[in-house]
Amino acid sequence: MKKFALVGLLMAGIAPALLLQSNAATPSIVGVAVSDPQFSTLVAALKAADLVKTLEGKGPFTVFAPNNAAFAKIKKADLDALLKNKAELKRVLLYHVVSGKVMGATAMTMNGKTATSVEGSMLNISVMGKVLEINNAKVIKADVAASNGVIHVIDTVLMPKKMK
């Protein structure tokens, strides 16, 4: 009988700890990016542009996040130059951010419309079949939850028109 009581007390102590772990706060947009290796180039760019604190902020934000393969489409010399030009890098990265939380299902209803990026330029939204596109980038994974918004993974780095 004592063994059962001891096991019961131990379980009573363990269960709340497990419950606390499972209810841990969802990380911020930056926290999600840092924890996912497919965003290592994006994280390096956010650090170089001093945008980490911004995207850890309250939000909500919708981020069209290029993965490493998207950054690999840019010529190495051009990417290196962009990473060294803080003002231009910041502009490019903010072009990937929209104020507010726009889930994929909502974006899919916005075919032919535009959204204003935090950078100030317009993003074109189109739907081709079941594929959501932002400018020329395909959303390859939608609705990655973050505490301060949502991330949609894209296959191409977006460039504001003045930079193309």
Q: pLDDT tens string for the chain (164 positions)? A: 444 333 333 333 433 333 333 335 789 999 999 999 999 999 999 999 999 999 999 999 999 999 999 999 999 999 999 999 999 999 999 999 999 999 999 999 999 999 999 999 999 999 999 999 999 999 999 999 999 999 999 999 999 987 55
C-alpha closest to that of 92 among 161, 151, 153 = 161
Tell the CATH topology of 27-163: FAS1 domain (2.30.180)
Residue in the structure block whose two tokens are 């993003």: 123
By three-state DSSP, how is residue 9 classified?
helix
Measure the CA–CA gap between 133 and 18, rounded to whole angstroms.
40
List Cβ neighbours of 58 (8 Å cut-off, separation of 6 or more).
148
List Cβ neighbours of 110 (8 Å cut-off, separation of 6 or more).
125, 127
Measure the CA–CA gap between 50 and 30, rounded to whole angstroms.
12
Q: Where are the domains of the chain?
A: 27-163
Q: What is the pLDDT of residue 10?
A: 34
Measure the CA–CA gap between 110 and 31, rounded to whole angstroms.
28
Q: What is the pLDDT of residue 163?
A: 57
Q: What is the pLDDT of residue 20?
A: 38
Structure tokens at 15: 């269960």
Q: What is the pLDDT of residue 2?
A: 42
